[in-house]
């Protein structure tokens, strides 16, 4: 399986941690499962996925992070999660998928998020977890996720994403950066990184597309004192299993089930289907 890779660097004499990724493959894997949705919802989900795919590069050991974005209309939710091994998932909830073709057809992201959007983050390992909730004052996902880090974790953060879809809503290219101010560094540096990213979008798209490029040298065209400190992979991974559907089958009554037929259940997140033979279903019900 081809993977996408996070490039981890320190810039400005170790005052800013800068992570970069070309996650075109990951984005394609996830967004191609959302064929029924419209462009705005694909961009919305895509920005969320880009953010978590870089946050994955900041996790250690058995840490994981889950994001739940709730729009002003609280039945509309976006989920994304990542672990330290770079396993990434992201999906729109049922209500958003259902509304994509009708109510939300011509809506902008700004309007979809609205005045009362919130981000709920659960982060940590199984033994040690914390939850933070912040609002979404920027109404554009990436600055709102940065806002979460500034407010809830007191880390000054900038997240930037480039995501281009073709006319037919396929992913043409997708890349992102995550910059974090290290303790004692001046906030001006983060403003500088932000400005450089937003005014050199093509540079970042081309930089990470090329294999075997001297990244340190290339990044030094834009930033001072660049040092590459590591790489880590990211990939789409759902983690669902046939066992997860036992409970759903259990909750059905015998009248809900087709007579003497096998059952096919489909994971809403990754589209994988699980087959239950008639005999298996009977065993689960009894
Ligand atoms: Zn799945």
Task: Report pTM.
Answer: 0.90
Lookup: tokens for 57: 């590069």
Distance of CA 242 from the midpoint of ligand 1 (Å): 9
Name the one residue in this structure whose structure tokens are 């039945």: 75
**Cβ atoms of 217 and 248 closer than 8 Å:** no
Which residue, among 80, 285, 35, has the nearest Cα to 170 in the 3D structure? Answer: 35
For the chain, give the number of residues: 286
Distance of CA 35 from the midpoint of ligand 1 (Å): 16
Distance of CA 91 from the midpoint of ligand 1 (Å): 11
Least confident of 52-66, 122-136, 149-163, 258-272: 258-272
Res 272: pLDDT: 87
Using 50, 70 and 90 to split pLDDT, how confident is the model at 1? very low
Res 260: pLDDT: 72
Distance of CA 203 from the midpoint of ligand 1 (Å): 35
Distance of CA 200 from the midpoint of ligand 1 (Å): 37
Distance of CA 44 from the midpoint of ligand 1 (Å): 20
**What would the mean pLDDT of 120-140 be, rounded to a whole number?**
94
pLDDT tens, residue by residue, 51-95:
999 999 999 999 999 999 999 999 999 999 999 999 999 999 989
Distance of CA 273 from the midpoint of ligand 1 (Å): 8
Average pLDDT of every residue of the chain: 91
pLDDT tens, residue by residue, 237-268:
998 999 888 877 777 766 676 667 888 888 88
Distance of CA 94 from the midpoint of ligand 1 (Å): 15
Distance of CA 269 from the midpoint of ligand 1 (Å): 5
Distance of CA 249 from the midpoint of ligand 1 (Å): 16
Lookup: tokens for 82: 């990542």
Instruction: Report how far residue 146's alpha carbon sits from residue 155's, in angstroms, rounded to the nearest whole number.
Output: 9
Q: Name 254's bridge partners.
A: none
């Amino acid at each position: 399986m081809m993977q996408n890779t996070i490039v981890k660097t320190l810039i400005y004499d170790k005052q800013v941690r800068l992570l970069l990724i070309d996650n075109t493959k990951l984005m394609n894997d996830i967004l191609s499962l959302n064929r029924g949705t419209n462009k705005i919802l694909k961009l919305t989900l895509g920005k969320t996925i880009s953010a978590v795919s870089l946050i994955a590069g900041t996790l250690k050991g058995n840490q994981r992070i889950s994001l739940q974005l709730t729009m002003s209309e609280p039945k509309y939710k976006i989920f994304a999660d990542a672990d330290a091994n770079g396993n990434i998932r992201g999906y729109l909830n049922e209500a958003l998928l259902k509304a994509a073709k009708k109510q939300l057809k011509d809506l902008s992201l700004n309007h979809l998020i609205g005045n009362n959007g919130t981000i709920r983050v659960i982060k940590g390992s199984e033994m040690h977890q914390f939850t933070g909730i912040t609002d979404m004052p920027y109404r554009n996902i990436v600055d709102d996720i940065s806002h979460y880090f500034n407010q809830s974790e007191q880390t000054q953060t900038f997240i930037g994403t480039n995501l281009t879809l073709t006319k037919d809503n396929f992913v043409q290219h997708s890349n992102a950066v995550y910059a974090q101010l290290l303790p004692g560094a001046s906030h001006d540096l983060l403003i500088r990184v932000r400005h450089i990213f937003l005014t050199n979008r093509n540079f970042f798209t081309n930089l990470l597309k090329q294999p075997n490029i001297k990244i340190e040298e290339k990044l030094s065209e834009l930033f001072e004192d660049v040092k590459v400190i590591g790489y880590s992979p990211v990939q789409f991974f759902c983690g669902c299993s046939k066992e997860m559907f036992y409970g759903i089958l259990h909750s059905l009554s015998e009248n809900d089930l087709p007579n003497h037929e096998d059952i096919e259940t489909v994971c809403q997140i990754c589209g994988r289907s699980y087959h239950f033979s008639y005999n298996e279903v009977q065993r689960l019900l009894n």
